[in-house]
Amino acid sequence: MSVYPLVSTLQAYVDASARFLPRDDSLAARRAAFTEACRYFTPPAPAHLLIDDQRQGALQVRLYRPAGAAPQGGWPTVLYLHGGGWNMGGHDTHDWFAFALAKRLPIALVAVDYRLAPEYPYPAPLEDALDVWHHLRDGHWPDLSRERLAVAGDSAGGTLAAGLCVALRERGLPQPCLQALVYPVLSARPHFPSMHAHACAPMLTTAGLMASLAGYVPDEIRQRDPQALALEQVSAAGLAPAFIGVAQWDPLFDQGRAYVALLQQAGVPAQLHIGEGLVHASLRASGVAGVERFYDAIAAALRAALL
């Protein structure tokens, strides 16, 4: 039983998640267990949603869009980057995020099956995200908007979403209409109070976080690169407006808050949503009241930016 006072529905999710143990300590076994757990918690797809797997060069992408004719100018679109510690996850693990937004908004989502660490550490996953972003901007999908574009990601995907905005700024390219970051990893530095206060929180421990970071940014040069970890930048000027959602009982709680402050200090509109009573990876727990409020907040920010 968790020492955190989780509501019963969230505690049930945490307990159920613990049943999906890898058969051994290998990365392959951990990836398989993660995929099995994510599939277990994925609800049925909304009836009106079309899902299409496509190859974009060497990358696989999954396109989610409403049934019916696209509006003039194409569907407003979110480039979605999945979580999983940069070393797990893909199209079989994160449908639930797209489904939750598709129930709330008439938008399309394009999910990127980016290369995973440690086989492909930074910058490979970010390069994959940028590649698909450029295809969106170039009008590769005629029924998707080239202008009404946002980027979103949870956990490790939030890292990549933030990094994409930094990379676009450094290249002098237009920003997304919004960056929506859900309990993102934004620094490898251990000084944040929540990394100590919630070091043993359910679903993500500080030790587990640092182990995943070691695979994604395996040396100090990469750990200090603002395109890898966005809190390393001195100024956030010129970045996209942001929605940043954090979970109350998460080692990453203070990283999200710090990034909101950095953005606001640079004059960038940034909204903070605190998922009261939630832990890391809570958004897989559909139906939990606090989780549904979190999704409502993400959807409201995307609606204001895209619709």
pLDDT in tens, 104-128: 999 999 999 999 999 999 999 999 9
Q: Establish if 139 belongs to a structural domain.
A: yes
Q: Establish if 246 belongs to a structural domain.
A: yes
Write out the two tokens for 66.
């409403």
Q: Establish if 221 belongs to a structural domain.
A: yes
| Annotated active-site residue in 17, 145, 155, 212 | 155
Q: Are 153 and 81 in contact (CB under 8 A)?
A: yes
pLDDT in tens, 24-54: 999 999 999 999 999 999 999 999 999 999 9
CA distance 168 to 191: 28
Q: Establish if 61 belongs to a structural domain.
A: yes
In the chain, the percentage of residues whose pLDDT exceeds 90 is: 98
What residues form DSSP beta bridges with 149? Answer: 77
Burial class (CB in 10 A: 0-12, 13-18, 19+), 45: middle
The pLDDT averaged over each successive group of 10 residues in the chain (307 residues) is 87 98 95 98 97 94 98 98 98 97 98 98 99 98 98 99 99 99 98 98 98 98 99 99 99 99 99 99 98 99 99
CATH number at residue 71: 3.40.50.1820
pTM above 0.75, yes or no: yes
Please confirm, yes or no, whether 155 is among the known catalytic residues: yes
Sorted by sequence, the CB contacts under 8 Å of residue 73 that are 6+ apart come out as 145, 147, 148
Q: Establish if 2 belongs to a structural domain.
A: no
Alpha carbons within 13 A on the beta-carbon side of 152: 24
Range of the domain at 295: 8-306
CA 220 to chain centre: 24
Counting the structural domains of the chain, the total is 1
Rounded to 5°, the CA angle 62-68-71 comes to 90
Q: Establish if 1 belongs to a structural domain.
A: no
